[in-house]
Amino acid sequence: MDMTTLPKPENSVIKQFDLTGKNIIVTGGAGFLGVNFAEATAEMGAFPILVDVDQQSVNEAIRHLSLQGYQSDGFKLDITDAACVNQTISQIEEKYATFDVLINAAAFAMKNLQKGGLDFFAVFEDYDAALWQISLDVNLTGTFLMTQAVGKVMKRRQKGVVINICSDLAVISPDHRIYQKDERFNYEGVSFNTPIAYPVTKSGLLSFTRYLATYWAKDGIRVNALSPSGVYRNHDRKFVEQLAFRIPMGRMAFPQELKGPIVFLASDASSYMTGANLIVDGGRTCW
């Protein structure tokens, strides 16, 4: 290959990070991290298109972004429904002509349950196979369906970026001790844990990322993963202490600390990266 014939990357770092004119689809866009990703990319000039299963939440997220001075749009969508996914992506394409980035942030969590929720945190021996299946459906199949539909459009354009939101638990096991009572630390434990389906599906997303990175490289589509550690959201103080003790930087992440990494992966600043897993964990996976 004659490198001299290839287009040169932008020399200005500011312009490398610029997302002006980019349409960015965010699944789980009305969620805790989804809204932060939308804020970050919008600040850099992008137009976030939020998709989420709950219309009211989508509307609230759009209002929130508007109050920040950012324009956006949103669509109600169950990403596990193939027909609805294809219909919605066609609708978005018809309305906006194209999309440049897909951020797969949707994930099944206890808040998605219609009632109860204690079964979500059951021990492995008693874990409900139905909840296991729902996690597979949302975290893996839903991401597969969205990426497939969006990828067809990107492939026609020979350009695009896909970012899969994984987790540090995709490469390490949860430390089960952080949830359990420990009298040495005057710690009563907490009523939640990390269910088996979460790290398993997040690990699957890493394989999904690497597969598509090599498959689509010739088509100008970059596929990377972002794997955060625990993100602080008014957690129990004692729980934070237990988790922070296992992180070299001694604390959980703030959601704002994922804004820079998501912009980096979405922008031309990461133009020579594909198939990578950007771990933002305060050093936790070093131990």
- CA 108 from chain center: how many Å? 12
Q: Which CATH number fits domain 3-174+196-236+258-281: 1.10.3470.10, 3.40.50.720, 4.10.1240.10, 3.90.45.10?
A: 3.40.50.720
pLDDT digit string, tens, across residues 258-275:
999 999 999 999 999 999
pLDDT digit string, tens, across residues 229-251:
999 999 989 999 999 999 999 99
- Name the pTM for this structure: 0.95
Sheet arrangement for strand 221-228: 73-76, 47-52, 23-27, 101-104, 160-165, 221-228, 277-280
DSSP secondary structure string, 87-150?
HHHHHHHHHHS---EEEE-----GGG-SS--GGGG--GGG--HHHHHHHIIIIIIIHHHHHHHH
Tally: H helices and E strands in the chain: 9, 7
The average confidence (pLDDT) of the chain is 94
In angstroms, the CA 155 to CA 203 distance is 25
Interacting residues of 11 by C-beta distance below 8 A, sequence separation 6+ = none
pLDDT digit string, tens, across residues 109-163:
755 544 445 688 888 999 999 999 999 999 999 999 999 999 999 999 999 999 9
224 within 8 A of 205, measured Cβ to Cβ: no
